[in-house]
A and B are shown apart, each in its own frame.
Chain A
Amino acid sequence: MNQKPEKLIDKKGIRLDGRKADELRPLKLEVGILSNADGSAYIEHGKNKILAAVFGPKEVHPKHMALQDRMVLKCRYHMAPFSVQERKSPAPSRREIELSKVIRESLEPAIFMEYYPRTMADIFIEVLQADGGTRCASITAAALAMADSGIPMRDLVVACAAGKADDTIVLDLMDEEDKLGSADVPIAMMPNLNAVTLLQMDGILNHEEFETAVNLAIEGCKKIYTIQKEALKAKYVNAKGEEAEE
């Protein structure tokens, strides 16, 4: 069992993992890494390791669940039993069920649901290792998996959290800051449309702190968005580094 650290930020403004208040954890994104899924992506963010896969559009089963004018979207966020310090039961927890819902609601606004009536798409998120901010990392990966599947989207969805550690508003909470900090504000957005599709908060913040956290998280989102786009394009820039042809 780890000892609880006395301070999350030292006198020089350096956090437990060496970062400054507005720095993101190291981030790696790969697209198209699963051969059976229609779209897939893998993210490493801090110590988070998460796989996302999309299947669809496909026929709806059971048939009566189909919608006549749009696609049906389903999402499952699930943590592997070995992903956290104390083994987690494989059965879906209430937290996973809530996260599955809010993640689905963060991605749906980006998808042209009306284009494919009477079909469905499944989003599967598997958290292989968790380290604070899994819902944000999951959304970033799932949006890439969705784009990789060829389902048309208004924009990518990217997510990042800000929070309060000791008395400072910081970007991209790591595990200890998530557990011991006094507020956590995860945000997901479509950056080119300036649209926030997920917003949650727990902790205590006054109005000014909340505004600072929201703006900081949005800045974080925009930085990750650049990396997201590159990951999607990287699949198509071949070994010769050539671009497209007529």
Chain B
Amino acid sequence: MAAVVTSLKQKQIAQLAEKGKRLDGRGLEDYREFKIEQGLIEKAEGSARVLLGKTEVLVGIKIETGEPFPDTPNEGVMTVNAELVPIASASFEPGPPDEKSIELARIVDRGIRESKAIDTEKLVIEPGKKVFIVFVDVYVLNHDGNLIDASALAAVAALQNTKMSNYEVEDGEMKVKSGYTPLPMKKNPITITFAKIGDKLIVDPCLDEEQVMDARLSMAIDDNGNICAIQKGGTGYFKPEEILTVSKLAKDKAKEMRKKLGW
């Protein structure tokens, strides 16, 4: 599998973009076909798999207990990790997380955290001492571009799917009871990523388009259309007008997605 996009293809993509077209026939503002499945990993407290074109991301949620952060004693904790596993691409090497997987995890984290998607105040067991810790593990299984949107989508879908065992506190000890409660969620943020090719802005870049793009701009939008996280990536640049255009487009696109997903 070629890791480099041939210069011929690069030219093709750029020329098509000029005319408002893309290699796979999509419009500049069209997402690829996507599918979401939830609950496929029974041993995880929550899970979801997203297929976005050929990009595939699986997110598993594990819930544990631990100490809260000292400056937020009455809130539960969330932490996001991402793995770009070698099976996903010839360019992913085994080893500890590199800057790409760390950036991906932190972008997904910011979308969820800043939108206050999880009601962390409801995750307190004993204020200041014991809270629930929500581990969000993003597992990229196949890389065909736009890992950010696919991972963000899978993370929120997995959180929606998460069920926590009921418990009661007896003599300072946690005792599991029967039954489950869904993880308390307040919002369902959606992340929209645009790539810049020449002076065209295209949504949901596939891998070939990513190799050719000048830069990307991702925005996480909450249920009220507010922006809660932004990340520019790549070695190109955006004009200020393009940034404002992207924020309008991202808001509209998120609304459209939200309707499609029923979120």
Contacts and interface: CB of A to CB of B under 8 A. Distances in A.
Contacts of B228: 201-205
Given A94-B102, A101-B99, A204-B115, A196 B238 contact: yes
A182 B236 CA distance: 29
Contacts of B251: 207
B237 A195 contact: yes
Contact of B230 (A193, A199, A218): A199
A97 B102 contact: yes
Interface stretch (B14-22, B27-35, B84-92, B103-111): B103-111
Interface residues of B, number: 36
Nearest to B237: A195
Interface in B214-241: 217, 219, 222, 224-240
Contacts of B244: 211, 214
B193 to A, nearest CB: 13
Interface residues of A, number: 33
B115 to A, nearest CB: 7
A193 B103 CA distance: 27
A5 to B, nearest CB: 14
Nearest to B115: A204
A98 B239 contact: no
B247 interface: yes
Interface string B231-261: 1111111111001100110010000000000
Interface in A200-219: 200-207, 210-211, 214-215, 218
B239 A108 contact: no
Contact of A196 (B103, B225, B240): B240
Given A105-B233, A196-B237, A207-B248, A98 B225 contact: no
A190 B237 contact: yes
A97 B99 contact: yes
Query: Interface centre among B234, B235, B236, B239, by most A CB within 10 Å?
Result: B235
B126 interface: no
B114 interface: yes
Contact of A101 (B103, B217, B243): B103
Contacts of B225: 206-207
A98 B232 contact: no
B243 A205 contact: no
A48 interface: no
A210 B239 contact: no
B106 A98 contact: yes
B237 A94 contact: no
23 contacts: A94-B105, A95-B106, A97-B99, A98-B99, A98-B106, A100-B99, A102-B232, A105-B235, A109-B236, A190-B237, A193-B237, A194-B239, A194-B240, A196-B239, A198-B232, A199-B232, A200-B232, A202-B114, A203-B114, A204-B115, A205-B227, A207-B225, A210-B227
